[in-house]
């Protein structure tokens, strides 16, 4: 019996995803066809079509799974301890200074290698 329920759910999900695709394609095509209309009206139509498509997609198994994941992610983001402005500024400055130092070291090594290869091959730049 669970196999029948799964198959019915899958076929209904396929129909729902087809509807979602048609709604999104209709939004794109409608936006192009009615290009001479007001931008506000076209934008409203696209937003409404996308909202309806999102609602239909949320009714599928994958849609419900995604919504659950999004809720759990939001909970996890709330648990994060974000750095203060001072800490973020100090960390950024440290990264910039280290980047400049490494760039200077690599530039120096490149210059040395160019001279060594030039002396070995007799080619000067």
* The length of the chain, given as a count of residues: 125
pLDDT at residue 63 above 80?
yes
Q: Which two tokens stand for residue 98?
A: 């280290």
Considering the chain, what is the average pLDDT of its residues? 90
pLDDT at residue 52 above 90?
yes
Burial of 105 (0-12, 13-18, 19+ CB in 10 A): exposed
DSSP label at residue 106: H
**pLDDT band with cut points at 50, 70 and 90 for residue 106:** very high
How many CA atoms lie within 13 Å of 90's alpha carbon, on the beta-carbon side? Answer: 5
**pLDDT band with cut points at 50, 70 and 90 for residue 10:** confident
Model's pTM, two decimal places?
0.57
Alpha-helical segments (H) within the chain: 2-33, 39-58, 61-79, 85-121
């Amino acid at each position: 019996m669970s196999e029948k329920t799964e198959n019915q759910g899958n076929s209904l999900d396929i129909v729902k995803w087809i509807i979602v695709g048609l709604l999104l394609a209709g939004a794109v095509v409608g936006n192009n066809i009615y290009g001479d209309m007001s931008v506000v009206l076209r934008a409203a139509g696209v937003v409404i079509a996308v909202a309806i498509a999102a609602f239909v997609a949320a009714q599928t198994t994958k849609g419900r799974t995604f919504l659950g994941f999004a809720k759990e992610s939001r909970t996890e983001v709330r648990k994060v301890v974000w750095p203060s402005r001072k800490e973020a500024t100090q960390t950024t400055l440290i990264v910039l200074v280290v980047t400049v130092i490494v760039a200077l070291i690599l530039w120096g090594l490149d210059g040395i290698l160019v001279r060594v290869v030039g002396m070995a091959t007799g080619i000067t730049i």
